[in-house]
Amino acid sequence: MSADRWLPLESNPDVMNKFVHKLGMPKEWGFTDIYSLELLDMVPKPVAAVLILFPVNQKYEESSKEEQEKIDKEGQEVSKNLMFIKQTIGNACGTIALLHSIVNNSDKIQLSGYLSNFIEKTKDMTPEERASYLKEDEGLSSAHEESAQEGQTEPPPREEHTELHFLALIAKDGHIYEMDGRRQYPVNHGPTTDDSFLQDAAAVCMKFMNRDPTELRFTLIALSKLSDS
């Protein structure tokens, strides 16, 4: 059985790319750093997803709770074509964010290997059933552990609680969604298009940053098409 707590994955696009290319994402697609929200023109396009690494602090928790209460009261539109995965493995948020960003773009990215099999085997599962599937998946946990140890910094002990957390922003059926396995469901952040997705995702990122303007620990990474072959 896979461990209930993994080593944290470093926010390093080179490490992430090596990991997901082994899992079956074609090499013309890859993760790249977004150095500034004012320098979006430097990000390779098209962009299929944006990952956010941010601190889960009291201000975030309070804002997240208010947002969830509003959704529970007013409802939201959620595409039936989303593949959402609950996170029940400690420190697995990096890998789950990668999966959310890739498997929800299988219409744009021609996947093979593990990623293709994962979609096929879990497409009819609930988010909780997908979480259980990952928990029992020795192949993925081993691949995650290998990637977690390849970063530029030594990973903390797996027992150590880290307050930094990954989530993915993706576009599906004309809306931008926050995909966070810690939450009960995807969160709809409004309309978007293929052409405006990066700018719309940047606006969502600003919402996270504005929750605590004194907090500087934010990292943004784009999933982009890097070449045509």
CA 22, CA 35: separation in Å to the nearest integer? 26
Nearest to 1 by CA among 139, 127, 144: 139
How much is the pLDDT for 156? 46
**114: helix, coil or strand?**
helix
H or E segment at 49? strand 47-55
Q: Which CATH superfamily does the domain covering 13-225 fall into?
A: Peptidase C12, ubiquitin carboxyl-terminal hydrolase (3.40.532.10)
The pTM assigned to this predicted structure is 0.90
Beta bridge partners of 191: 175
How much is the pLDDT for 155? 47
| pLDDT single digits (tens) 98-152 | 999 999 999 999 999 999 999 999 999 999 999 999 988 877 866 766 766 665 4
Where in the sequence numbering do the catalytic residues fall?
93, 165
C-alpha 214: how far from its chain's center? Answer: 24
CA 199, CA 55: separation in Å to the nearest integer? 22
Residue 181 CB neighbour total at 10 angstroms? 25
